[in-house]
Structure 1
Amino acid sequence: MTASLFHAAALPLGGGPLYLRLQAMIRGAVADGRLKPADALPPEREMALSVGVSRVTVRKALEGLAAEGVVEQRHGSGTFVSAPSRKVQQGLSNLTSFTEDMATRGRRTTSDWIVRRIERAAPAEAMQLALSPGESVARLHRLRRADGLAMAIERACIPVAILPDPAAVGASLYDAMEAAGHRPVRALQRLTAQNLGPDDAGLLGLAEGTAALAIVRVSFDAAGRPVEFTRSLYRGDAYDFVAELALSERGPA
């Protein structure tokens, strides 16, 4: 059914570049319901033959639509119509886990584990966690999903004295740390913009170079000890970070 939508006569008339006309055709099919969320688009080669354009034109059109959020390109799986945007607004004043954030919004969280093992801390990690050179950390890398949608990539390291068994972490890292008596109570974090490289873009189902939010967080327990060093990438089309500000009182004139 989906493949039948793609033919030369379906391209909008006009003298613009072919990739823009192909994008307009796909957008129109999504807008009027002929293409529905999660529908798979034909492979590039098949689409190029059906529409009568080059594979380069098809690739350029799909990359542009992926950057807009109209479609998702999943490495090794193909191109799919994106689900309607459900952008998450996340406050910056409270220290919560991804699982807690999504639970408050009624969304189901799952994780795809990438790395879960004990390794020697890298110099930058040892410095952030106040560890001696050569000490070990529990390294936890995972793709976080909400209702099946890939939302973020988290790369956390925890001192092995606090988390000696990475396999003890289930849905929530903070729950495992609380069970060990070292739940974070405050954190310092830095947010920057970053364009996704090919590997991270593939994990998130986005085009290489898509803008993302990069967050570096160092968390501390009640004793003031650094217990978590996490670097995360959040997809920019699904997350807004919001901070409430108050005007500081002025001193005497």
Structure 2
Amino acid sequence: MRLLSVDHRALADKPRLTRSTDEPSHVRIEQWLRSRIEGGQLVPDDRLPPEEEFAAALGVSRMTLRQALGSLEASGVLERRRGRSGGTFIREQQIETDLTGLPGFTEQMSRVNVRAGARLVGVSRRRPSRSVATALELSGAKEVFEIIRVRSARRQPLALEETYLPCHLFKGLDKRSLTGSIYTIMRRDYDLAPHTAQEWLEPVLATDEHARLLAVETGAPLMLVTRTSYTVAGVPVEHAYDRYRADRTRISLRTSVSTQVSAELVADSGEDA
């Protein structure tokens, strides 16, 4: 943690707020701080100077400074901590996780220019639970491969993957290296790449085991993504539970209105006219 003074080099090139522009001072302060963060001059866990000193150095009122800091806090760039060692700190920036198009974790990180890592916790052959068997449409004594991995970004744990694949479709999978993209293995070695999926997103709390693997406190918020993936022929080939650290990820998904839905809306509108 760095305790920054108003003259620290990380706070150099302060905005010239006396110059007349169409933008209010608090907006220019916000933009300046964002540029220092994006440029790497301000890094996570840096503590900004006390508000009174900082406002005086910038030549603005504390109210103006608080407007800028409040906007940055609302967008997740800053965080305010209470107590004797509290203050306003630069926050670890969340990683955008785009689920559009059924990407694997490696592709998700590639989209934001972050190198993905994987640590294999365990792989085993087992009888599926009822929910997994139902999702994969398995019956009788058919087994699944259970693959548990911790996925990392910027060398820190980001997500815990719990993946189930039917053994009869992926023979010998447990003998392969599973520290890279599993989707690539499914496509390249088995010609059973996921093509479509149904996903559910819900907030959950970290259990003791989840907390240990993700390096968070027990009870920390996680975002659970439950997914069943299908081949182009409609065969279910994957059921997974991905748990993302809520403090390090921001999940996005691009959607659009389908042609069929649009046609239905137009038809309904015409009938009401």
Distance 1:243 1:108, change over 3 A: closer
1:219 partner amino acid: S
TM-score (normalised: structure 2): 0.60
Indicate the residue corresponding to 1:163 in structure 2. 170
* CA deviation vs aligned residue, 1:159-213 (integer Å, no higher than 9, x gap): 0122222232340010110021000000001000101112111211111111110
The structure number with the bigger radius of gyration is 2
The whole-number CA distance in structure 2 between the counterparts of 1:173 and 1:242 is 22
Count of matched residue positions in the alignment of Structure 1 and Structure 2: 182
Give 1:135's match in structure 2, choosing from 95, 117, 142: 142
Distance 1:31 1:100, change over 3 A: same
- SS in structure 2 at match of 1:125: helix
- SS in structure 1 at match of 2:117: strand
Indicate the residue corresponding to 2:74 in structure 1. none
Which has the higher mean CA deviation after the structures are superposed, 220-229 or 122-131?
Answer: 122-131
Indicate the residue corresponding to 1:31 in structure 2. 47
The whole-number CA distance in structure 2 between the counterparts of 1:83 and 1:140 is 36
Q: Where in structure 2 are the equivalents of 1:19-98 lying within 5 Å?
A: 30-31=46-47, 85-98=92-105
* CA deviation vs aligned residue, 1:88-128 (integer Å, no higher than 9, x gap): 22334311000111122221222121111222222221111
The whole-number CA distance in structure 2 between the counterparts of 1:69 and 1:204 is 24
* 1:227 equivalent in alignment to 2:222: no
1:206 partner amino acid: V
Q: What do you get for the CA RMSD once the two structures are aligned?
A: 2.7
Indicate the residue corresponding to 1:102 in structure 2. 109
Indicate the residue corresponding to 2:193 in structure 1. 183
Is contact 2:99-2:252 (8 Å) kept?
yes
Gaps of 5+ in 2: 3-44, 50-78, 82-88
**What's the CA shift for 1:87?**
1.3
Indicate the residue corresponding to 2:11 in structure 1. none
Give 2:159's match in structure 1, choosing from 146, 152, 164: 152
TM-score (normalised: structure 1): 0.65
Is contact 2:46-2:90 (8 Å) kept?
no
Gaps of 5+ in 1: 3-28, 34-67, 71-81
Distance 1:31 1:163, change over 3 A: same
Is contact 2:228-2:236 (8 Å) kept?
yes
Aligned residues with identical type, % of pairs: 23
